[in-house]
Amino acid sequence: MRNKALPAPTEVLIFDCQESESLPGKLVSNPGLSTDSVAKEVYSDTSLLVDFFRKCFGRNSIDDAGMGIVSSVHYSRSYVNAFWTGAQMVYGDGDGLIFKNMTSADDFIGHELQHGVTQHTAALIYEGEPGALNESMSDVFGSMFRQWKRSWDIGAADWIIGSELMGPTAIQMGWVCLRNLLDPSANSSLTKQPKHYKDYVQGGGPHDNSGIPNHAFYRACSAVGGYSWETVGLVWYAAIRSRHIKPNMKFKDFAALTCHEAKRIFPKNPSIATAVKEAWAAVGLR
């Protein structure tokens, strides 16, 4: 019997916008050996993300079909954001004050790539509760990637997003990260968020309320222990791939779906399903 052929390596391409807003920009040759530290950094972390999804979740690139991954760096001038266009990632250089280069944090690169994975799985619409779930998926998988890269278990993980992005002015103002999964309402986060459903911001944007499911994920991981990607992370991944997930899914329905998946994936370890259920209850979603 012939062995099933291994999938071809995912192509990781880096482009340089050279401070323009024209995408994708100029192709960077041999980005892994580039003298441009930003291009080299994005290439390295994106390549590691390919390994992370393959080794931890059996996923073959963003679309699970081996699609090439395109990232553009040096987008516009002093651009203080990064985004997924629906086809590629784009990174600005930051303003040097509130934000350093937007490629400085590996969990943030993971955050942006996960938007692509979410597009090709759950396809959560970007408004209301499904929009907040969309943002939460990116924080959750970005955080897991950071943990996996460093072999951090639950106790060693820092549970914050984008700490390396914070520039000198941000640090001076007491902001040490973009968001905090352990304590979404911490004053040290640039984006303070509610961590309980009773405090949900009505009419708020996706970033305003993503702390609620973020905190549920943290609490479930904390209760289970070990490595997040081996237990609770598998549950979250199964949920976004489930045939039961809907683009307009609300928090309560997603919580129920993760509880279902925890029981399905770990039938001999009911403590994981219990941890997931209790984590959602702790943020007001029973």
As annotated, the active-site residues are 112, 207
The CA distance from 112 to 239, in Å, is 19
Q: Which residues contact 245 (CB under 8 A, 6 or more apart)?
A: 121, 122, 239, 254, 257
Q: What is the DSSP letter of 136?
A: H
Burial (CB < 10 A; 0-12, 13-18, 19+), residue 94, is buried
| 242 contacts: CB under 8 Å, gap ≥ 6 | 257, 261
CA proximity to 70, closest of 113, 20, 41:
113
CB 137 within 8 A of CB 122: yes
Residue 78: how many other CB atoms lie within 10 Å: 12
Strand partners, 99: 166
Angle between helices 211-224 and 251-265 (to 10 degrees): 20
Of 123, 145, 143, residue with least CA distance to 134: 123
Report which residue type is found at 51: D
